[in-house]
Amino acid sequence: MGVANDITQSLPLMEAFYTLQGEGAHQGRAAYFIRLGGCDVGCVWCDVKDSWDMAKHPRVQIDAIITEAVKYPGRLAVITGGEPLMHQLDALTTALRVAGFETNIETSGSSPLSGHWDWICLSPKKFKAPLQEVIVKANELKVVVFNKHDFEWAEKYAAQVPPDCQLFLQPEWEKAAEMTPLILAYIQANPQWRLSLQVHKYLNIP
């Protein structure tokens, strides 16, 4: 059986939960999040550092992941991490699509692209740059703004993504009070960009 349809394949699952997508282009939609363990990017401001060590998280078979996902009425699946592209995701995304899910990924783009995606959210990080093969497939560019130099970083990748890629600037949560006013002014001057806020944190939901 090939990797694309091997539902017995297992992946290190940190957590899976049903909530609303809190940020980016699909903000406000009911979504089933599948957070995979393992990350080699190491953002200093990461809010899920527990995801970094792949070995800390139990390996769960894909069929078991799907069994849990279909218990909820929403059919948007968001694969995140950690860095989900550290894993081969063809089998997981194939199984999700067979179960009727729309497949979204949130990735730094720093590992080779795998999986079958309806939406690729690229969030490039300075700690480990994205690969060109992910940049050219991005549907959404979401740049986390930690300091004022990140605007230049954002424009670097906005020039490389496809013309129809949606562009978002998102304040880093701990720096939001300082960075949000700068982002608002930047978007007013550069209206090709849109604001992304981590609404789930304001609402205190997963």
The model's pLDDT over 55-85, given as tens digits with 9 standing for 90+, comes to 889 999 999 999 999 999 999 999 998 899 9
Spell out the domain ranges in the chain: 3-203
The model's pLDDT over 19-28, given as tens digits with 9 standing for 90+, comes to 999 999 999 9
Cβ atoms within 10 A of the Cβ of 152, count? Answer: 8
Distances (CA, A) of 159 to 19, 41, 56, 135, 162: 33, 22, 38, 10, 8
* C-beta of residue 173 within 8 angstroms of C-beta of residue 198: yes
Output the average pLDDT for the chain. 92
**Residues linked to residue 53 through DSSP beta bridges, in sequence order:** none
pLDDT digits 0-9 by tens, 154-205 = 999 999 999 999 999 999 999 999 999 999 999 999 999 999 999 998 889 9
Superfamily of domain 3-203, CATH level 4: Aldolase class I (3.20.20.70)
Per-residue pLDDT band for 1 (boundaries 50, 70, 90) equals very low
pTM, 2 dp: 0.93
